[in-house]
């Protein structure tokens, strides 16, 4: 990257960081999740090994304050002693994670021969993109902290470290991400099919599984039931995803605050969310082991499949897949996704938006997002199958080309 390009890159990232900091310290954030961070911090100070029992008082009714692995606990303790109000300081790590994701994505694209303009545009979509900024700068969630290690894992796997070290480094990074939130473990499905034999697959998988398991061990030993209940939570239906497709009026509960009775499909998602997630993960791994697409395209398949088949889609979930869409070169689709998600984002985070017109707009935008994911996944899966067939029908299979769908 030219000196001018580097200056622009740092300016983009700096502007994003400054804007996030201003919002983080001038607003409280999303009340439920910010209150959850306060409750977990207090429980950790009082009785750390019983934190899952202390904060998740009503799992059956969906009142789960901490359905995550314990990897973020250390930052909550650090943020508590740093100067400044806790609701602002606790967001410093997610803000930094956004900046690092932008840098890694720009470097990854550069290693693959992307132009300087493309690299800057990709970094800008992260540094200034509303789907990223609202989560790290306002909401108080930490999805970027969980996703950063697996973004670096793909960077390492695709040439960022020496080939003989890539499996161990990538596996450890996936494990670190999964120790913060369990969903980054899905990246194993993208990388395992490209492992060069069982030995490399083992070096990749073992640390990815062992690190979150070791992080959970002391809490599970102290209170196994509370940990199982917490990690068994799989989100709430109706914000987006297939659950909104099967019962669109669930949006009235999120936008207008109305009580909405669940239909049979919603009841199924509430009762069988774990089974759905396990089935999606197993199906993904089987498909990618069969077709063996390039790792970066496999990562796109992973996140698209999650978005299409998982029951719910909270707005912060966009942070999971967006870096990988950009790393694969799908800048236009990443931009379009953030544009379509902007009206629902405003509605979800604004207390003054309600009424049937707002609900209709919200449902239209979120179903358009789901339909777009479904079409994209179908076309990309077909491309993976064609890639597999060519690879087995010729000694010189056609090189993978980015699709312009």
Write phi, then psi, for 58 (nearest 5 degrees): -145, 70
Q: In this predicted structure, what is the pLDDT of residue 395?
A: 52
Which DSSP symbol is given to 248?
A: G
> Is the Cα dihedral 84, 90, 93, 99 positive or negative?
negative
Residue 87, classed as helix, strand or coil, is: helix
Q: In this predicted structure, what is the pLDDT of residue 400?
A: 53
Q: In this predicted structure, what is the pLDDT of residue 393?
A: 67
Cα–Cα nearest to 144, from 250, 72, 231: 72
Cα–Cα nearest to 189, from 318, 327, 291: 291
For residue 152, give both structure tokens.
């670096």
- Return averaged pLDDT per consecutive 10 residues of the chain, 405 residues in all: 92 97 94 93 92 82 83 95 93 97 97 95 97 94 96 95 94 97 94 94 96 96 90 78 87 78 80 77 91 94 94 92 97 97 91 79 94 96 89 57 41
Q: In this predicted structure, what is the pLDDT of residue 385?
A: 92
Q: In this predicted structure, what is the pLDDT of residue 359?
A: 87
For residue 313, give both structure tokens.
């889609």
Please tell me the distance from the alpha carbon of residue 281 to that of residue 279, in angstroms, as a whole number. 5
- Contact 313/239 with Cβ under 8 angstroms? yes
Please tell me the distance from the alpha carbon of residue 90 to that of residue 45, in angstroms, as a whole number. 16
The runs of H, that is alpha helices, within 181-311 are 187-191, 198-222, 224-231, 242-246, 251-255, 264-291, 295-309
* Cβ count within 10 A of residue 107: 16
What SS3 string covers 304-372?
HHHHHHCCCCCHHHHHHHHHHHHHCCCHHHHHHHHHHHHHHHHHHHCCCCCCHHHHHHHHHHHHHHHHH
DSSP per residue, 101-170? HHHHHHHHHHHTT--HHHHHHHHHHHHS-HHHHIIIIII---HHHHHHHHHHHHHIIIIIS-GGGHHHHH
For residue 96, give both structure tokens.
């930094």
- Contact 138/345 with Cβ under 8 angstroms? no
Please tell me the distance from the alpha carbon of residue 10 to that of residue 284, in angstroms, as a whole number. 37
For residue 346, give both structure tokens.
């405003």
Please tell me the distance from the alpha carbon of residue 35 to that of residue 25, in angstroms, as a whole number. 15
For residue 249, give both structure tokens.
């009026």
- What residue has token string 């961070």? 37
């Amino acid at each position: 990257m030219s000196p001018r390009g580097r200056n622009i890159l740092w300016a983009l990232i700096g502007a994003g960081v400054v804007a996030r900091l201003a919002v983080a310290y001038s607003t409280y954030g999303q009340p439920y999740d910010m209150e959850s961070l306060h409750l977990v911090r207090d429980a950790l100070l009082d009785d750390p090994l019983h934190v899952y029992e202390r904060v998740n008082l009503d799992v059956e009714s969906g009142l789960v304050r901490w359905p995550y692995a314990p990897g973020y606990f250390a930052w909550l303790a650090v943020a508590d002693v740093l100067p400044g109000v806790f609701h602002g300081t606790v967001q410093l790590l997610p803000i930094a994670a956004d900046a690092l994701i932008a840098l890694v994505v720009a470097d990854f694209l550069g290693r693959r021969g992307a132009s300087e303009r493309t690299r800057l545009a990709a970094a800008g979509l992260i540094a200034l993109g509303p789907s990223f900024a609202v989560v790290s700068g306002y909401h108080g969630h930490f999805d970027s902290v969980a996703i950063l290690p697996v973004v670096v894992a793909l960077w390492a796997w695709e040439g960022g470290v020496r080939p003989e070290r890539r499996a161990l480094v990538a596996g450890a990074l996936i494990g670190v991400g999964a120790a913060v939130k369990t969903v980054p473990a899905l990246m194993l499905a993208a990388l395992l099919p490209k492992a060069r034999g069982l030995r490399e697959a083992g070096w990749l998988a073992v640390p990815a599984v062992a690190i979150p398991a070791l992080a959970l061990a002391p809490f599970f030993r102290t209170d196994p039931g509370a940990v199982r209940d917490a990690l068994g939570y799989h989100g709430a239906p109706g914000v987006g995803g297939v659950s909104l497709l099967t019962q669109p009026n669930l949006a009235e509960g999120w936008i207008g605050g109305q009580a909405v009775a669940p239909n049979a499909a919603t009841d199924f998602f509430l009762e069988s969310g774990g089974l759905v997630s396990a089935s999606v993960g197993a199906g993904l791994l089987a498909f990618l082991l069969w077709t063996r697409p390039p790792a970066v395209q496999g990562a796109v398949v992973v996140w698209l499949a999650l978005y299409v088949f998982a029951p719910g889609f909270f707005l912060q979930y966009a942070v999971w897949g967006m870096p990988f869409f950009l790393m694969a070169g799908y800048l236009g689709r990443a931009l379009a996704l953030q544009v379509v998600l902007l009206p629902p984002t405003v509605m979800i985070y604004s207390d003054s938006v309600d009424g049937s017109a707002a609900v209709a707009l919200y449902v239209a935008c979120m179903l358009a997002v789901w339909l777009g994911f479904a079409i994209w996944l179908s076309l990309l899966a077909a491309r993976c199958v064609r890639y597999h067939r060519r690879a087995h029908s010729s000694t010189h299979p056609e090189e993978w080309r980015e699709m312009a769908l």
